[in-house]
Amino acid sequence: MEVLELRPIKNKKIVAYMFAKDDGKEFQSINTKELEEFIKKRNIAFMTVDFEVKMNEFNKTELAQTLDKLEIKYYQVDIPEYAMGYLYEEILEKEELVTELTREYQILEDRDSFKGQSLRNWIDMLNLEIQEKEIFLSLRLRPLWIVKKMLDIAKNCESKEVSFVHFVQRDICEDICSQVVEQLRALNIKVVQYNKKHTIKNVVF
């Protein structure tokens, strides 16, 4: 079982290029010529992907086929299921309890009674706890694991200078990209972000 430990990689210069795309379907219409030029010019070592897509489907896309042709390995990065562990179980247990309490609350004849108000307060408190745990899991813990996966891959590259591309689904990026970038930079990794506002030529695939 892996341990979540983030430390700078010594004696390596690492650069991460981050791109956001709307959904996995865009990988089918990617500009492979621009992609090839980008990869070769920047000597990209590998690619990571944070998309809600099954890898056996991603493997068939133009993007994956281009990477295979260039012998660039690609990896889906995410938090391992076991790392979600007790937090996820707690969320599920609290959601089940909310469902039971809500049923009980809805059949009460007098919801303004002490019992009704107590049930309502309990439900609200549980919903708040669920929300806080979901935020921690998705927006705090998950980005740390994504960065760890990136570090592990970069660490296994023989070169002293390692550049990689990270493709992330746009709605996911809006939630966690700032945390991923912050963690990478804290580990002495240079991050270059490309988005719709970028005007640099030849960076939109």
Secondary structure (DSSP) of 168-198:
EEHHHHHHHHHHHHHHHHHTT-EEEEE-TT-
Give 198's pLDDT tier (boundaries 50, 70, 90): very low
Q: What is the pLDDT of residues 12-50, one digit of tens each?
A: 999 999 988 776 565 666 777 888 888 999 999 999 998
Q: Provide the sign of the torsion angle of the four alpha carbons 174, 177, 178, 179, taken in this order.
A: positive
Q: Which two tokens stand for residue 182?
A: 């912050």
Mean pLDDT across 159-171: 90
Provide the pLDDT for residue 62: 82
The C-alpha atoms of residue 10 and residue 24 are separated, in whole angstroms, by 34
Q: Which two tokens stand for residue 4?
A: 């979540």
- Beta strands (DSSP E) in the chain are 13-21, 44-50, 73-76, 161-169, 190-194
Q: Tell me which of 59 and 129 has the higher pLDDT.
A: 129
Provide the pLDDT for residue 75: 94
With 50 as the cut, is the pLDDT of residue 202 above it? no
Q: Name beta bridge partners: 165.
A: 17, 47
Q: What is the pLDDT of residues 100-156, one digit of tens each?
A: 999 998 888 888 888 889 999 999 999 999 999 989 988 889 999 999 999 999 999
Lowest model confidence (mean pLDDT) among 83-87, 90-94, 165-169: 83-87
What is the identity of the amino acid at 29?
Answer: S
The Cα-based distances of 52 to 14, 31, 130, 168, 199 in angstroms read 26, 21, 23, 9, 28
Provide the pLDDT for residue 61: 83
Q: How many helices (H) and strands (E) does the chain have?
A: 7, 5
Average of per-residue pLDDT values in the chain = 86
Mean pLDDT across 196-201: 44
Percentage above 70 pLDDT, the chain: 90
Provide the pLDDT for residue 56: 86
Provide the pLDDT for residue 131: 93
Q: Which two tokens stand for residue 32?
A: 């492979």
Which position has the token pair 């959904």? Answer: 23
Provide the pLDDT for residue 23: 64
Lowest model confidence (mean pLDDT) among 49-63, 89-103, 140-154: 49-63
Give 188's pLDDT tier (boundaries 50, 70, 90): very high
